[in-house]
Chain A
């Protein structure tokens, strides 16, 4: 019987889910969920999509309704920051001095947007997107005819670009690398998405970075690029990646390396302290390495790992990392990570906007990027997890079912 006091530091997707899994797995001891934002745990993915388009708000995004926490005896402290993890005394110290003793602590502090030290960056109308509060400010600035400059051609930037276009705003995406999604996807996908966004009127500046933001009266008016050109804009979104909120863990002498280091049970070096979600650097058994995996499925998996370790419940079976992104009428689903890849096999024709790119290590699929191709995503995920060799010929042939491409 699992009866100890569990304190969860961070009430985001990972933290909120951990609280629920603890009860689901039979934990009967006290659970306290502490969150910096004044909101109950909620999903962030819709912030760049449904929220901006006015299709969903706070209530729709909640992971669970308010009644869930009371009904499951989960104490929730919102709008509260912690100042110190006292590992020796097994206590979490909150701002204001309040002490929360724990038998198990779960660090779920997530990540924060990386900031650029841009001259002019402190002006009004330069925004980032992580929280609902951020999304609300961004939404307020996007309107027909407004010009949005997005710094960073990653998922946040591209999803916001798609939403902003749907709302009638002009959009320019400024990307430092030669292609968008450089850090997270292959060239075939980058080219496809660039083309698709262009068809929807998005302008791209590739191989470009912003040197400074220029404005008047504290409002941004233009982004000045490294080649001297000025991109006029009313609003700037900086979407250049996120940094793990590992500071409290590091100050408590828990090993951190661009993320709080954890094992396959989401445990840190301290057996009483777990860490889950975007703040962690976690093992990927399939790829035999540690990685800072920023995704909702990873947060959920680790929440289950921690809850299982605490309660003695069976742990979740290891998952193939996976991810999704919705832009316009495109559903991008990705499984696996392209480590140790020799080449790619393309299945279907990108011109039809229904295709998949398989990243291959010999005859084994390491990762798949599927656009409007759920069978390729689901089937690919199974093959990746099984490390099953496939016939490249059958894989490249959309007429052959994904269930029949294995050797």
Chain B
């Protein structure tokens, strides 16, 4: 099962198993990893599941859809490696993925 490392803003690391088919957001929620709010439950409607994808993983996580880009455009502290984690589906290709959470989701 793919392992994903979520790094909180203060540096605390959580490495957890997330099965294929779940989103990176769901992996955090289901493993009680703090720092991702996911208010809309993954409907791409709130931009509170914002993460920074580690540079080494940007290609494998793919690019955001137009809808996700538009939502991100209005989020806080957006960087080139920003993604909405509810839009990244976990596959074997993402085993070892590292994402960092922003200081705040709101």
Contact = CB atoms under 8 A, between A and B. Distances in A.
A374 B39 contact: no
B86 interface: no
B89 to A, nearest CB: 13
Contacts of A382: 74
A375 B74 contact: yes
A68 interface: yes
Interface string B29-40: 111101000011
A280 interface: no
B32 A297 contact: no
B67 interface: yes
A271 B76 CA distance: 35
Contacts of B47: 378
Contacts of A71: 32
A331 B29 contact: no
B32 A64 contact: yes
B32 to A, nearest CB: 5
Given A374-B71, A375-B70, A382-B74, A331 B45 contact: yes
B20 to A, nearest CB: 14
A170 interface: no
A378 B71 contact: yes
Contacts of B31: 65
B67 A372 contact: yes
A378 B70 CA distance: 8
Given A297-B40, A379-B74, 6 more contacts: A65-B30, A65-B32, A296-B39, A300-B39, A374-B44, A378-B47
Interface of B: 26, 29-32, 34, 39-41, 43-47, 67, 70-71, 73-74, 106
